[in-house]
Amino acid sequence: MAIRNFLDARPVLDDMFTILVTGATGNVGRPLVTHLTAAGANVRAVTRNPDGAGLPPEVAIYRSAADALPGCDAVFLNSRALGEELASTVEAARAAGVRRLVALSAINADDDFSRQPSRVRGDRNKEVDELAAGSGLEWVSLRPSVFASNFVGMWGAQLRAGDVVSGPYATASTAPIADGDISAVAARALLNDDLVGQRIPMTGPQALTNAELVETIGAVLGRTLEYHEVPPSLVRQRFIDIGFPAAFADAYMGLLLETVGRPALVTHDVEKILERPATPFAAWVSDHRQLFTD
pLDDT (tens digit, 9 = 90+) per residue, 89-147?
Answer: 999 999 999 999 999 999 999 998 888 888 888 899 999 999 999 999 999 999 999 99
The answer as to whether 77 is a domain residue is: yes
**How many domains is the chain built from?**
1
* pLDDT reading at 3 higher than 60: no
**Distance between CA atoms of residues 4 and 13, nearest Å:** 7
Q: What is the per-residue pLDDT across 232-269, written as a single tens digit (0 to 9) for each?
A: 999 899 888 888 889 889 998 998 999 998 999 999 99
Query: Looking at residue 34, which CATH number applies to its domain?
Result: 3.40.50.720
Range of the domain at 264: 18-207+260-289
Single-letter residue type at 86? L
CA-based end-to-end distance of the chain: 44
The answer as to whether 8 is a domain residue is: no
At residue 52 the predicted structure's pLDDT band, cuts being 50, 70 and 90, is low
> In this predicted structure, what is the pLDDT of residue 60?
93
Mean residue pLDDT of the chain comes to 91
Is the model more confident about 219 or about 119? Answer: 219
The answer as to whether 155 is a domain residue is: yes
Contacts of 91 by beta carbon, 8 Å cutoff, 6+ apart: none
> In this predicted structure, what is the pLDDT of residue 9?
36
Q: Count of CB atoms within 10 A of residue 222's CB?
A: 7
The answer as to whether 76 is a domain residue is: yes
> How much is the pTM?
0.92
The answer as to whether 84 is a domain residue is: yes
Q: Is 254 in a helix, a strand, or coil? A: helix
At residue 43 the predicted structure's pLDDT band, cuts being 50, 70 and 90, is very high
Contacts of 205 by beta carbon, 8 Å cutoff, 6+ apart: 175, 266, 270, 271, 277, 278, 279, 280
* Contact assessment for residue 79 and residue 141, using Cβ atoms and an 8 Å cutoff: no
The answer as to whether 222 is a domain residue is: no
The answer as to whether 58 is a domain residue is: yes
